[in-house]
Each structure stands twice: as C-alpha cells, then as structure tokens.
Structure 1
Amino acid sequence: MYIVKNVASLVIGLMILSVKSFSQKRDSIPGSVNIPKKVEAYVADKFAVTRPFNVEFIQTGPYNFSSERDGKSLPDSKVNSLSQVKVSTNINFIKRKNWLLGTTLGYRYTKADADIAMPAVGDIKTVEREFHYLFSAVNFTYFSTLFNKRTIYSASVMVDGSDKHFERVRGIVTGTMVLKANQRTKMTAGMLISIDPSVQNPFIPAFGYEHTFGNGLIADINLPKSMYLRKHVLNNGRVSLGLDMDRTSFYLYDIDGTSQKYEYRQVDINSGLIYEHLIAKYFVITAKAGMKMSPQGRLFRKEDSFGSPVFEITPDPAFYFNIGISLHPFSLIGRKK
C-alpha cells in the first residue's frame, strides 16, 4: 500500500493526459493505403517509444550476489526483497501526414532490502533504501520511403534525474525499414544510435519479425528487446512464453562522504510466462512471472561511463512477479484476425 499511495496521484494524472491524447480518431500511417489495417496497428505498436499509458508493479524474490570494488572481490551478500513501480505515458501533441511530435514522461520507484557483508568488521549490515528515477523526452517521428519501402525515422531528446536533482541529457536516433508487411508476416530492420557518453556501444542494430502460423501460434521477435511465442486464448486474452530485456537504473548521492554523484545501472533479462487480457476495448491487464537474470550491475561516477565502474555486482537468478495495466488503442489482443 505504501508504494501505491506514493504513485497514485501521478498515475491518475498521466492516465487523464493519455486518454485525451488518444481520444481522437487514429490517423493512418502515411503511404499505407495498400497495407492492411492490422499491419498499421502492428507498425504503430512497434515504433511507439512507450504505450500511451502504462503502470507496472514488480516484485523480485530474494537472491544472493557477488561483488567487486575497484577490482577486488568482496564477500557475497543478499537482497532480501526488491520492489519496483514503473509509470509512463506517451502523448502525441501534433499529428501530420508524414510526421508526429510528442513527449514521453516516466517515473520508476525502486525499494531494496539487503543484507550486506561488511569485510572490515566481519559482520552483516541490513540496509533498506529507496530510489526515485524520473525522465521525460521530446520525440519526433517521420514517415518516409527508402528503396520503395516504408521507412520510419525517429529522434528523441531525453532528460533524466532523481527526486533530488536533474542529471543527464541523452539523445536517441533510429531508422527502421518495413521489409515485409501482410496479414501473416511482418518484418523490419534498422539501427539505433545512442547519443550518451555513458553508453559503451552507441550503435545497436534492430530487427523485428512477427509470423502467425496455421495453428494460431505467433512468433514475435523484436531484437534487441524481446522474443516471444504467443497464442490468443479465450475471447480477449493472450498467453506468451519467452523473454524480454529491461534496465534498472537510478542515481546515488553522498555514499562516500563526498559530493560525488553516482549512477547504478544493470540490464535485466526477464524470462517466463505472460498473460494479457483486454478490457473495455483499450485497456490491457498484464501478469508476468518467471526468472530474472541480470548478467552484471555497475556503479560508476556520473561523469564516467558504464565501462568504468567503481563497484560491480553479479546477481544470482531470481523469481519475479509483475502485474500491470496499460492503455493501448492499437492492441490486437482480443480482436478478430
């Protein structure tokens, strides 16, 4: 209940903005006259920075982790509980024939309870910390053609920080070509360029593939983000088995008695089972459960990069459970094929 009370007002506000933004009639994607409506929905879904409105509650079970500080191994420690809340919305201000201009707003709450081994005194210290991560972005999307293929270009400028300070300005530029789009198969390829000194590899190739088999199974691959095998069930439900990637990130202050600012960042690979259910035509209730694997987490000075950590942890796999709700006008869940 504590987490719910902290984010309730933000959730309500973002939901109102999202509903207003998408209450108007959806425009067709430019140049898509000969593309089926379901393909339009697919393209709109894949290229949104985030769903129009989304809130998630995530609980991760206990897990052990090993760690290193300045290259020296430390005794193993344990996270007893990790709770997270994620709230985000994507609002389009201007819609024109060939371009869109909008904004993304987001908030992530993380609460961790851990038993930390203290090597100097040979004791265990229980630590409970809360972290608040906020971000906003201005997004520009342009629809064009290249080599007679529908191509989507996008650029985003994002600012982020905590409840205490504004911290970074980042940029992302993408180009994605729709290679194939029909009722059964959709295929895209492109490139993402991250304008962020803290990122080790600024160039990331992207590939999307979705195919519906004769038995109703759907292969849904969206690299480097996710890979799923999906199946529509009942009248308004969908079951998925696979994995997706997410990121846990927040800023820390005054941890060593100085004014130095730090950022903690880790990539999370969430594998398992998902059930989604469409209600009231445009809202999707989602429940996820499975194993979370985080290859490595790193703490680094704000002015440095992820490749120059002062502290590293390697968590063991852990069980997680996730429940959420999203506003999704383009959702194909529960709709007739």
Structure 2
Amino acid sequence: MKIFRKAFIPFAILPFKNIVYAQKRDSIPLKVRAFVADKFPQARDFNLEFSQTTPYKFSSNLNGNDLPENKVKDFHQIKANANIYFVKNRKWLLSTSLNYRYTSINTEIPVSGYQEKNDYHYHSEAINASYYSKLFNKIAIYSASVSVDGSEQHFERIRGMLTGVVVLKANLKTKMTLGAAVFIDPSSQIPVLPIFTYEHKFDNGWVADIILPKKILVRKDVFSNGRISFGTEMDNTSFYLYQSEKTYEYRQLEINSGAIYEHNLGRYFIGTLKTGIRATPNARVFEKQESFKDYIFEAKYKPSFYFNIGISYNPFGKPKN
C-alpha cells in the first residue's frame, strides 16, 4: 500500500526546506532563515541506510482463498537515495530524485518447515520542479514531478504529480503549511491527497515535527551535535514480480513507532539510528495494469521490532559548528 506514492514525501518537503527562496531577500527575517537552515535537514542530499526486522507471522489469501499461516524469518533492506539540485534560486527549484531499494525476504511455512528466500531490486527516478509565488499575500509553492520506476529487469511505470502548498506561518518558533497533491497514476488508491506540515519549537527545547500523512514526531537536541525523536513514521515497500509472462506489483504500508537518534558527524555527514515496533497492516499483489484495490494476493502481518542504521551526506546543508 502506498497512499502517498513513492516520490511524494521526499519531493513535497524539498520546497519547504528552501522556503527562503520564495520571497525577496528583505521579506523574510534573518532569524527565520537561520531557523530553516537546520543542521538536520528534512530532505537529505545523499542517504544510505540498512533496515532489519525480527521474525513475524502473517496470514494471507490468494484469489480470495485463505492460505496456511506463514512466517517471515528474515526481512532486511538496503536503501540509497539522492536529491540533486540543478536550479535553486528565489523563484525556481529544479532537482532530480534518485532512489534504489534492495529487499530480501525469507519466509517459512511453520507446519512443513519449507523455506523460501527471495531478493528484489527496485529503483525510481524523478524530475522535480517547484515555483515560488504568492497567494492571498502568503508564500505559495507550486510543484510538478514526473517519475519512472522499475526493477533490475525493466522500467515499469511512468507517474506524474502536481502539488500546491501555501505557507500559513513561518517565524522563529513555528512553521506551518497547507496544500494538496494530485496524482497522475491509474494504480493510485486516491487521486488527491491533502498536505499539512507543522513544526513548533517549545520553550523547553522540544519540537513538534508533523508532516501528514508521513510522520508525527517530537524531538529535542541533545549533547552538542545530537537529536533524539519519539513518535511514528510511515514508509512503504514495493517491488515488481514476474510470473507467467505477466508483471505484478507488490506494495505494503509500514508504520514505524519508536525512537530516532541523529548525530551530526561533521563535514556534512549525519548518522541515524532508529528502533521500535513496525506494524504492517496491509500488503497486496496486483497486476501492473490494475489498481491496488484489484488485488490477487493480500497479507496481514503481525507487528515486529525493527532496527535501522543510516548515514547521509548533505553538502548543501548547514555544516557542524
């Protein structure tokens, strides 16, 4: 399940990171610029991460017929992505987003002990353009994205997305936006998705960091160059399957709840550790030309513990002091 699409969340927050280009230099206070230039940026320029879960059981059905209860003995992923800027000025932001994900799944049927291991490769590439203007005397960000994705065998889909976001508030303590995204994709579950972001810095040092429907976190700077966060993030896994000369797509929604620790390592590097409980309420397989609701296989997974370690390189971000 992928209710906010593969390219949506990374692309949607890129303009907000660069909000200082939406108006002339003297129209946004310098203290706001300093606050936006976070040493832990929302969108990482280059990022590499590894994820691992503990074993978990799941129930499933194929073409409406229940299958025996199975167990995922091992699930791990390697993800790499990059956000590269071509144009970055007061009115325009033009960039490309490159993503690769390797997924390894080892399943077991407890009754028979039969095991099966499968490896999947998935990639997506997008061209993103944003234009900064004003609407009702508020900063407005209009964006468009065209993306392709596929496996190690083929390119599979071409998708489009249009977004419009209005900055309702942006000062030293609070940043808030509201808007919507329109998906140009026949397989999408919903054609339009509302966008809401909210960040507020409390007097005690804690910060509310909300990007709906992506995440709800509270965070606080710790030590000299660290940050700890608690809350929930949503993610997804998808890849393509090939069987009987047909192409299928697998999608699952992941809800990760727990703790995140980030540390600015200096020279534009940031290390990240995440752990907690992963819930995967829904996973489906459907023919590529069909939509998510027209599935042939569905699985419901039990919660499991997860661990994630990553490192990012952000040459366009704020370096360690």
Q: TM-score, normalised by structure 2?
A: 0.88
Contact 2:56–2:72 (8 Å) recurs in 1: yes
Which digits, 9 at most, give the CA deviation of each residue in 1:196-251, with x for residues without a partner? 11111121111111111111111111101000010100010000000111110000
The 1:129–1:259 alpha-carbon spacing in structure 2 relative to 1, beyond 3 Å, is: same
Q: Could you tell me which residue of structure 2 aligns to residue 251 of structure 1?
A: 240
The 1:170–1:131 alpha-carbon spacing in structure 2 relative to 1, beyond 3 Å, is: same
The 1:210–1:329 alpha-carbon spacing in structure 2 relative to 1, beyond 3 Å, is: farther
* Structure 1 counterpart SS, 2:281: coil
CA distance in 1, matches of 2:115, 2:199: 46
CA distance in 2, matches of 1:293, 1:330: 34
The 1:262–1:116 alpha-carbon spacing in structure 2 relative to 1, beyond 3 Å, is: farther
The 1:329–1:152 alpha-carbon spacing in structure 2 relative to 1, beyond 3 Å, is: farther
Q: Could you tell me which residue of structure 1 aligns to residue 92 of structure 2?
A: 99
Matched, 1:268 2:254: yes
Which digits, 9 at most, give the CA deviation of each residue in 1:102-149, with x for residues without a partner? 2111100000111036xxxx7342000000001101111111111111
* Structure 1 counterpart SS, 2:48: strand
Q: Could you tell me which residue of structure 1 aligns to residue 37 of structure 2?
A: 41
CA distance in 1, matches of 2:94, 2:22: 15
CA distance in 1, matches of 2:173, 2:138: 18
1:29 to 21, 25, 38: 21
Matched, 1:168 2:164: no
Matched, 1:57 2:50: yes
Q: Could you tell me which residue of structure 2 aligns to residue 78 of structure 1?
A: 71
* Percent identical residues: 48
Give the CA deviation at 1:30.
3.1
The within-5 A match list for 1:181-260 is 181-254=170-243, 258-260=244-246
Contact 1:39–1:181 (8 Å) recurs in 2: no
Q: Could you tell me which residue of structure 1 aligns to residue 137 of structure 2?
A: 148
Q: Counterpart amino acid of 2:165?
A: T
Give the CA deviation at 1:154.
1.0
The 1:275–1:332 alpha-carbon spacing in structure 2 relative to 1, beyond 3 Å, is: farther
The 1:39–1:150 alpha-carbon spacing in structure 2 relative to 1, beyond 3 Å, is: farther
Contact 1:277–1:333 (8 Å) recurs in 2: no
* Structure 2 counterpart SS, 1:75: coil
CA distance in 1, matches of 2:90, 2:175: 23
Q: TM-score, normalised by structure 1?
A: 0.84
Which structure 1 segments of 5+ residues have no match?
1-25
Give the CA deviation at 1:74.
1.3
CA distance in 2, matches of 1:106, 1:250: 13
Contact 2:280–2:301 (8 Å) recurs in 1: yes
* Structure 2 counterpart SS, 1:38: helix
CA distance in 1, matches of 2:113, 2:275: 31
Q: Could you tell me which residue of structure 2 aligns to residue 180 of structure 1?
A: 169
Contact 1:237–1:333 (8 Å) recurs in 2: no
- Greater relative contact order structure (CA < 8 Å, 6+ sep): 2
Q: Could you tell me which residue of structure 2 aligns to residue 110 of structure 1?
A: 103
Q: Counterpart amino acid of 1:217?
A: W
* Structure 2 counterpart SS, 1:97: coil
Q: Could you tell me which residue of structure 1 aligns to residue 13 of structure 2?
A: none
Give the CA deviation at 1:295.
1.0
Q: Could you tell me which residue of structure 2 aligns to residue 131 of structure 1?
A: 120
* Structure 2 counterpart SS, 1:200: coil
Contact 2:268–2:320 (8 Å) recurs in 1: no
Which structure 2 segments of 5+ residues have no match?
1-17
Give the CA deviation at 1:330.
6.5
Contact 2:268–2:319 (8 Å) recurs in 1: no
CA distance in 2, matches of 1:227, 1:320: 18
